[in-house]
Chains A and B, each alone.
Chain A
Amino acid sequence: MNWKRASIAAATAAPVIGLFAWGLTRDPNSIPSPLPGREAPVFALQVFAPGQGELMRPAGDTVRLTDLRGTVVVLNFWASWCLACRDEHAALSDVARSYAGQPVQFLGVLYNDVPDKGTAWIAEMGGQSYPSVDDPGARVAIDYGLYGVPETFFLDATGRVAYKHTGPVTAAVVRFKVDSLMAAALHAAPSPTAADTAGANPKAGKVQ
């Protein structure tokens, strides 16, 4: 056994593995969104699913983004026909409930679907803690450059898009982002850009 030669050869594997490890943190199918760092497109949409407890907004209420300045907003686009939305539903609902009373607003936006089906889906999934609004004609989805569902946008307290997440979110991702945005709002620091904070969290996954 030639140990020296063997060790040198084995070391050559490192760059290959490094490249793949880096690649895993990227999503090749995602198209870079022009939104992060920019002013979030404003909207005024009607609530069709009221949510529960403290987070409840009566159905028929109109949610205006302009009224939500000063709070962090988590905008989750979903649909009853979307399978991946099922995966993230419980995590989102639980996390939203745990932030009740804090300056953060969770909002579901129904995409390419009808409110009746959305309501039935929420019932089937065992309820949703935060309200959902309907987006007829997908106008808001187009403004946000949506490629599919689920996609989740995190808006900071000044109304800018701080992050966009493609695909189902996990509780850890949501908490991390909401916490950092609330902290930023407290210190009145400029909103963090996507790149530097996303990299700090290994679980952030496909963040742009």
Chain B
Amino acid sequence: MTMKRTKWGALAAVGVLVIAFGWLIYGGLDSNVVYFLTPKELLAKGAEGYDKPVRLGGQVKPGSVVWDDHALDLRFAVTDGAGEITVHSKGAPPQMFKDGQGVVVEGRFGSDGVFKSTSLMVKHSNEYKAPTKGERPSDMYKSLMKSPTT
């Protein structure tokens, strides 16, 4: 009898623990999940999409990049062909950031229509790319290559 009672007691304790754990996890996930959206999807959310952590995926719209290397201030538009969103980011972009490049930016979309980015990732198109002529660093950075190495 006592064996049985301890068994049920233990089961109840485990049940309570599991429920408490599940509730904690649910709360944690609910407030910390980052949605992965394209500009079109984010715009479709309207006001609901404002000020929530979002990963925005798309391409850098050609001709939209404005980079101030002294203020470390970067603005560009991300497009998915169906919608576009202006992104504002602080800090230097990755060296291969360029027009038409696939990017994923993480940050929040403000009600002013500007996406404030906290991190900017360039999407690798593939593992392997032989640079075309003129893209090789030795061509692009000729003057640097000649400067004395320390």
The answer to A–B direct touch (Cβ < 8 A) is yes
Which A residues form the contact surface with B (CB < 8 A)? 31-35, 38, 41, 79-84, 112-114, 117, 137-138, 141-149
CB closest residue in chain A, given B82: A34
Give the number of residue pairs across the A-B interface with Cβ within 8 Å: 64
Contact of A82 among B62, B123, B126, B132 (CB under 8 A): B126
> What's the Cα separation between A117 and B129 when bound, in Å?
12
Check B36 for interface membership: any CB of A closer than 8 A: yes
Prevailing SS type, chain A contact patch:
loop
For residue A112, which residues in chain B have a CB less than 8 angstroms away from its CB?
125
> What's the Cα separation between A163 and B125 when bound, in Å?
20
For the complex of A and B, 6 pairs with smallest distance between CB atoms:
A148-B125, A81-B129, A31-B57, A145-B81, A34-B82, A83-B128
Decide: A148 and B38 in contact? CB cutoff 8 A: no
Prevailing SS type, chain B contact patch:
loop
Decide: A147 and B123 in contact? CB cutoff 8 A: yes
For residue A41, which residues in chain B have a CB less than 8 angstroms away from its CB?
81
For residue B83, which residues in chain A have a CB less than 8 angstroms away from its CB?
34
For residue B127, which residues in chain A have a CB less than 8 angstroms away from its CB?
83
Interface size on B, residues (CB 8 A): 24
Decide: A34 and B40 in contact? CB cutoff 8 A: yes
Decide: A34 and B80 in contact? CB cutoff 8 A: yes
Q: In chain B between 102 and 129, which residues have their CB closer than 8 angstroms to a CB of chain A? A: 102, 123-129
> What's the Cα separation between A138 and B138 when bound, in Å?
25
Known: A33-B80, A82-B125, A142-B59. 12 other contacts (CB 8 A): A31-B36, A31-B57, A34-B82, A35-B81, A81-B129, A82-B129, A112-B125, A143-B81, A145-B81, A148-B102, A148-B123, A148-B126
> What's the Cα separation between A160 and B104 when bound, in Å?
27
Distance (whole angstroms) from the CB of A37 to the closest CB of chain B: 12
Can you sample 24 A-B contacts with CB below 8 Å? Answer: A31-B58, A34-B80, A34-B81, A34-B83, A35-B81, A38-B82, A41-B81, A79-B129, A81-B126, A81-B128, A82-B129, A84-B126, A112-B125, A113-B132, A142-B62, A142-B81, A142-B100, A143-B81, A145-B80, A145-B82, A147-B59, A148-B123, A148-B125, A148-B126
